[in-house]
Amino acid sequence: MIVLKFGGTSVGSAKNIKKVVEIISRNRASKIVVLSAVSGTTNSLLAIAKAIKNNQLIEGLELIKLLEKEYLLIISELFATNHYKNKALKFVLEKFNDLKNLSNETVNLENSIVAQGEILSTNLVQLFLEESNISSSFISALDFMIVDEEGEPVVSKIKEKLCPIINKNQAGNTWITQGFICRNNNGAIDNLKRGGSDYTASLIGAAIDAVEIQIWTDINGMHNNDPRFVENTFSIREISFDEAAELAYFGAKILHPQSLIPAKENNIPVLLKNTFSPFSEGTIIKNKTVNKGITAIAAKDGITAIKIKSFRMLMAYGFLKKVFEVFENNQTAIDMITTSEVAVSLTIDNCSKITSIVSELENYGKVEVENNLSIICVAGDFSQNSEGVSAQVVNSLKDIPIRMISYGGSNYNISLLVNSNDKIAALNSLNSGLFKNGVGFQKQLVG
């Protein structure tokens, strides 16, 4: 059995839904299909939830009506017969009436509203499959996708609930379900946060011992660099989980970093494919190293650097522990860190508690804060035979001021901090220096 996940763009219109159904019907394997909400729906639902929470009921109802019109248009373009058109209309109108009635709720309001996006998309696709005479069964993620008291999903519990549901629905070899949404340990509607549909697919894959997880998006797999800013990029044919995780964390938008963990732990390959170019090869992510050397480059914006300088740090044990405790107490993750005898420099991407962080750090030394920075991640396998690679990376950026370098903390990543105004130039310089001079090895594979 395999898992196919389709993102919001893939189900973003009637035309796109038809492409998704073509892909589903062409694949003869037993499969669970995980669907995101229609592109833009989650943002609209968050706006609706905010308006209702702030008691702006008129504004909230107007937003509901606008979103409802979008779904009525999808129905009119998607279904060919009056029978299924009417079934879809009935379902969608009921769901939007439920949304209007949610304005009376105060508990779990946002999660209940946001969950409607995936519920709408999956039911519409299921109805279209029925109209197309393609056998499939609908299963609700709310019946099996659960998280514990800390908000973490447990694969064994998901398996315990999911497998009996699949075994009861043997009408065909295709099951349709929602990504993103789940129930918490109290049984209330919850979600796996942003990027959660990828995570759902990976968790389901682990629960059913899938032979493969396919993530269908709107680009041809993972690229060696950001095609929005760099010309002559190319799709990577194969990449390891470790390299893909580094790229996902440091800016590659195609995957959510957390989504890879269940697949990696259960040795399930993840195939990245393009819904709008289904016969393109895509990128396969595996639990093995494909090549030595540099695989790809990604960038992460919105970075803030914090420098703590203190002569008390000189030969003082426990200093770093105190610094890290400040960030732990303020629930702020650190991306990069470098140290010297008298200073510590580190970066964060969440500045919501920066005032408190700086105030506490000033107890230990002089604090400097710098904003408008970007982390460039150069990912690959540097565990062996990587002599000269770091020099090639730095030499490629000889005309770009580098604020910080992190190398050696991982065998799969060199991180460089630059001013955000220099990011595009840095990506292009690295592309020229690393993939045209023989350091990157994926180019020869792809051709």
Query: What is d(CA 256, CA 259) in angstroms, rounded to the nearest whole number?
Result: 5
C-alpha dist (Å) from residue 168 to 137, 142, 162, 209, 370 = 10, 17, 10, 18, 58
Q: What is the predicted pLDDT for the residue at 16?
A: 98
| SS3 readout for 222-253 | CECCCCCCCCCCCECCEEEHHHHHHHHHCCCC
Amino acid present at 10 = S
Contacts of 104 (CB under 8 A, 6+ apart): none
Query: What is d(CA 354, CA 237) in angstroms, rounded to the nearest whole number?
Result: 41
Q: What is the predicted pLDDT for the residue at 90?
A: 98
Q: What is the predicted pLDDT for the residue at 360?
A: 96
The continuous run of DSSP H or E covering 418 comes out as strand 413-419
Question: Contact at 8 Å (CB) between 339 and 408?
Answer: no
**Domain boundaries 295-446, CATH class:** alpha beta
Amino acid present at 307 = K
Beta-bridged to residue 283, according to DSSP, are: 272
In 3D, which of 395, 382, 398, 377 has the Cα closest to residue 441?
A: 382
Half-sphere exposure of residue 239: CA atoms within 13 angstroms, side-chain side = 32
Which CATH code is given to the segment(s) 2-218? 3.40.1160.10
Alpha-helix runs per DSSP H in 340-441: 354-361, 389-396, 423-435
Residues 20, 146, 247, 441: is their CA dihedral positive or negative? negative
Q: What is the predicted pLDDT for the residue at 212?
A: 97
| CB atoms near residue 83 (< 10 Å) | 11
- What SS3 state is found at 400? coil
Average pLDDT along the chain, 447 residues, taken 10 residues at a time: 96 98 95 97 95 91 96 98 98 94 72 96 98 95 95 94 88 91 94 86 97 94 92 90 86 77 95 96 84 84 95 74 94 92 92 96 94 94 71 91 88 92 96 74 41
Q: Tokens for 161, please give them.
A: 């609930």
Q: Look-up: residue for tokens 């950026």?
A: 397
Contacts of 226 (CB under 8 A, 6+ apart): 233, 251, 297, 298, 299, 427
Residue positions counted in the chain = 447
174-178 and 137-138 as β-strands: parallel, antiparallel, unpaired? parallel
- Give the residue extent of every domain in the chain: 2-218, 295-446
In 3D, which of 372, 3, 420 has the Cα closest to residue 210?
A: 3
Query: What is d(CA 110, CA 99) in angstroms, rounded to the nearest whole number?
Result: 11
Q: Look-up: residue for tokens 């030394």?
A: 365
What's the DSSP call for residue 211? S
Query: What is d(CA 73, CA 322) in angstroms, rounded to the nearest whole number?
Result: 57
Question: Contact at 8 Å (CB) between 169 and 137?
Answer: yes
Query: What is d(CA 197, CA 8) in angstroms, rounded to the nearest whole number?
Result: 9
Q: What is the predicted pLDDT for the residue at 136?
A: 94
Q: With a threshold of 0.85, does the pTM exceed it?
A: yes
Query: What is d(CA 303, CA 323) in angstroms, rounded to the nearest whole number?
Result: 19
Query: What is d(CA 268, CA 201) in angstroms, rounded to the nearest whole number?
Result: 11
Cα(first)–Cα(last) distance of the chain, in Å? 32
Q: What is the predicted pLDDT for the residue at 119?
A: 98
Q: What is the predicted pLDDT for the residue at 437?
A: 54
What's the DSSP call for residue 379? E
Q: What is the predicted pLDDT for the residue at 378?
A: 93
Question: Contact at 8 Å (CB) between 44 and 16?
Answer: no
Half-sphere exposure of residue 143: CA atoms within 13 angstroms, side-chain side = 12
Q: What is the predicted pLDDT for the residue at 102?
A: 75
